[in-house]
Amino acid sequence: MAEVSTLTQAPTTAEILREKIRSRSARVGIVGLGYVGLPLAVEFARAGFEVTGIDVSQSKADRVNLGDSYVGDVPSAILKPLVESGKMRATSDFSVVRDLDTINICVPTPLRKTKDPDMSFIDSACQEIARYFHPGLLVILESTTYPGTTDEVVLPMLSKSGLKVGEDFFLCFSPERVDPGNPQFQTANIPKVVGGVTKACTEMGRLFYSQALERVVPVSSTQVAEMVKLLENTFRMINIGLANEIALMCDRMAINVWEVIDAAATKPFGFMPFYPGPGLGGHCIPIDPFYLSWKTKQAGIEARFIDLAGYINGQMPHFVLSKVQNALNDAAKPLKGSRVHVMGVAYKRNIDDVRESPALDLLLLLEQRGAQVSYSDPHVPSLRLDGRTLQAEPQSIAAAADCVVIVTDHASFDYAALVRQAKLIVDTRNALKGFDSAKIVRL
């Protein structure tokens, strides 16, 4: 009787990686340890994975290895034990990619002055990863970008290795949804959208994120996932632009725009309140819609809503400047030579991030008109402005100013004391709601 072969088939690359992810023995890499990358790295370390953060900034890597967090949403008290236990470490050396099983790319994607995408950080990260690329890697791009980036830019760079996507390695896009300073929604409990180049890639990405995050939302392609992020932030940018335009209208008609919005918000259907302000800031809302606008122009489509909302939002620092100038004029003071003190320079309340902050534009505009400027911000001890450094002042200095401008409504400011002590206040955030004083000028 002939012998029956008992040879078993070796596990595939996908099966090996899936088992590593399920058993949490996969070695996780996070490229870019900023507001997106560091919180993500911490969540996977807390889930039991060994995580290596990679950042071109050696000083950031050194601070992580000391357990010293520089990101507000990651307390050092959480980071330090993960470092001490060996679950978390950081380096500036990309050669560690040789030993990794997964890589999340969380690098910046700014706009050039011409409003077209600056892909240099993604290109640089992918070039470094490609140098040490190997079979069995799951690569996920999280940096916000235009639809098609993952397939058109990242995939060709990684495919030069000769490995086949969906079989030898896996590639996905998953939009970051970080909201710095939000106490309710953080990395672990914000639903995670993920789309892969192939179905196998999507499933690998879904499996990976589900080990550390509460909910994963798979979509059919990388382009869908890329578009999701742009829709989310374009929605916010356009609606804020509408609120700002309504504020401009109300100002001309001497109507309190804040009262209008509050009353409209009582409608239980068909309305969602958005609020005006001194301008847009941060790393997403002022930037991401222009990725979509740029991409659609390549297809011969004009993004008119986006461009118009961007223009209106971009004019708000100038509108605030005119409010300051008119308020001083009513007090028989010229803007030139007046002392103007800005309360809050971070782009949103209770955080330390000044990227794209409208306060920067306003400070420069005030200086160009001859004002003497100063600022208070408990989260931003110093500020680079037009090639020099400004130091934050205590709130008490506001009493000596000719005009105080509330740009960022931090919770730690003593608004009652400000109303008592300041001579004149321009409130761009409705921070002084409930205060009734002739010295308050509202947006």
Active-site residue identified among 106, 126, 201, 284? 284
C-alpha 413, offset from chain centre: 24
Decide: 187 and 106 in contact? Cβ < 8 Å.
Answer: no
Report the DSSP pairing between strands 138-141 and 170-173. parallel
Query: What three-state secondary structure class fits 427?
Result: strand
List alpha helices for 369-434, DSSP H: 415-421
284 tagged catalytic: yes
Extract the runs of DSSP E, i.e. beta strands, from 117-275: 138-141, 170-173, 192-196, 216-219
Q: How far apart are CA 67 and CA 127, in angstroms?
A: 29
Q: Which helix (H) or strand (E) holds 405?
A: strand 403-406
> 381 in helix, strand or coil?
coil
Measured CA to CA, the distance from residue 169 to residue 20 in angstroms comes to 14
According to DSSP, residue 35 is labeled: T
Angle at 176 between CA 187 and CA 285, to 5 degrees: 115
Cβ contact 260:315 at 8 Å: no
Task: Give the residue from 139, 161, 167, 135 showing the smallest Cα distance to 151.
Answer: 139
Q: Are 374 and 401 contacting, i.e. CB atoms less than 8 angstroms apart?
A: yes
C-alpha span between 372 and 402 (Å, rounded):
10
Nearest CA-CA partner of 247 in 233, 234, 235, 261: 261
CB 103 within 8 A of CB 143: no
Catalytic residues, by residue number, are 284
